[in-house]
Structure 1
């Protein structure tokens, strides 16, 4: 187990070490495996002095927070309705949803749909298409079915309608599964770069992962280095060191948050596998 952990963690450590090393020194080759040979923060100064990265980071945080909240609420609301045995056509809805898990219209029809909905070059392209996920619905439904129906009956006797029951009874009791789905969707929103590449041309609306994708895809980062503050000693910064520092900046937040939510991730997978 320790060997597996070491094999998994070392590539991340290697990227961090080289991002903290002087760029020109790293180009000389040699052994920079465990600790920076010539410690330098110039790579990170170049990253954080670049306005494009700061804007992209803000877009990523906004779409992760807003998209996750809306996704959890909307999916939970639909799942609560599906979990009700008195819902007419419930089995048909489940069958239709299962089909969408295995078949899709393809990228071109999806692109045309996004364009016709007016979501191209629009921040809502990160929110509206991700409001619902059928796999997450299955996890929600499995959890809701375990809740005692007597709670709903008691709330109805007190005069509560279905929406009030959902907000004031079901949601407070569903925090474990809500945390699970929030983790799923939050990680997806943070790591998603595809929507920014396909549906967004405006640089001010592109998330940090799309920015990283473009930095890594390009053969050099000369434009980025030119946009950095003039006080940066660019002689110590290379395109490779910029890429490594950008990778660390984009992945570190979600890596730090994930261990605290891992127990919900495991529980959510068990709910989906046993009940789904």
Structure 2
């Protein structure tokens, strides 16, 4: 197991080591475990570039807004699904389950986004990601474990369904809410595909899309810092950008792993 972990971690270590090395010297190769000529110049170029900082801000904004809206909307729909008095609940479940296995494909999806006027709009990161049936199933499994007497007592006090959901269901559902928030937050942070397909405006692309274009365009992306010198190459800038864009989620994920496991357990055992 230790050997397997080393094989999986070494590519990350290789990128980090080469990004901390002098760019021109790194082109000679032979850097495997430690920097040969330590330099932070590549990171200086990356962090001074306004386009990267703007992309990072878009990523943070869409992660925060997208996570909050997704959790609230999906929880609200799941709460409605959990009500026995919901008319047509079984049909809705069949339709939702069907979407887990089949979809219309990328072209119809693109046409839908175009007709909704979401192309080159920040809302393309938010509105299509408002709901996930998979996460609804996890929410639904948790909501079914909440005692019905809790809601009946609230109704006797004059609370309607919306007040019950906001003031009672949400506070007692924080464990599953935290789980879904982590699912969604990691997904939003790592998402580059939406920016590649639906965003042409450089000011709206997230940092993962920015990184994807730097790597795929083989150095044709121009940085705006103007501080590139002979110690920095496009390859070293690519590596430094990879580290900057992945470091936040890499540092946070180990501390949140237990919530991911708990989320799957809720969906499998209680379901």
CA contact (8 A) 1:59 1:208 kept: yes
Determine which of 233, 242, 247 is the counterpart of 1:238. 233
Q: Name structure 1 gaps, 5 residues minimum.
A: none
1:57 aligned residue = 56
Structure 1 position 258, deviation (Å): 1.1
Structure 1 position 270, deviation (Å): 1.1
1:272 aligned residue = 267
Find the residue that maps to 1:176 and give its secondary structure: helix
Residue 173 (str. 1) matches residue 172 (str. 2): yes
Q: For the residues of structure 1 that align with 2:40 and 2:167, how far apart are their CA atoms?
A: 50
When the two structures are aligned, how many residues end up with a matched partner?
271
1:162 aligned residue = 161
2:22 aligned residue = 22
- Greater Cα shift, 253-262 or 137-146: 253-262
Structure 1 position 35, deviation (Å): 1.4
CA contact (8 A) 1:221 1:242 kept: no
Equivalent residue runs for 1:74-223 within 5 Å: 74-221=73-220, 223=222
**Aligned-pair RMSD on alpha carbons?**
1.1
Determine which of 236, 244, 248 is the counterpart of 2:243. 248
Structure 1 position 48, deviation (Å): 1.0
Structure 1 position 221, deviation (Å): 4.7
Find the residue that maps to 2:87 and give its secondary structure: coil
TM normalised by structure 1 equals 0.95
Find the residue that maps to 1:115 and give its secondary structure: helix
Q: For the residues of structure 1 that align with 2:262 and 2:220, how far apart are their CA atoms?
A: 42
Q: For the residues of structure 2 that align with 1:186 and 1:222, how far apart are their CA atoms?
A: 28
CA deviation digits over 1:152-189, x for unaligned, max 9?
01111111111111111111111111111001110110
Structure 1 position 233, deviation (Å): 5.0
Q: For the residues of structure 2 that align with 1:11 and 1:54, how far apart are their CA atoms?
A: 25
**Change in 2 beyond 3 A, CA 1:95/1:9:** same
Structure 1 position 274, deviation (Å): 2.3
Find the residue that maps to 1:234 and give its secondary structure: coil
CA deviation digits over 1:26-53, x for unaligned, max 9?
11122x2221110000100111111110
Q: For the residues of structure 2 that align with 1:128 and 1:220, how far apart are their CA atoms?
A: 33
**Change in 2 beyond 3 A, CA 1:222/1:22:** farther
Q: For the residues of structure 2 that align with 1:185 and 1:219, how far apart are their CA atoms?
A: 31
CA deviation digits over 1:90-114, x for unaligned, max 9?
1110000001111111111111111
- Greater Cα shift, 69-78 or 152-161: 152-161
1:228 aligned residue = 225
Structure 1 position 4, deviation (Å): 2.2
Find the residue that maps to 2:222 and give its secondary structure: helix
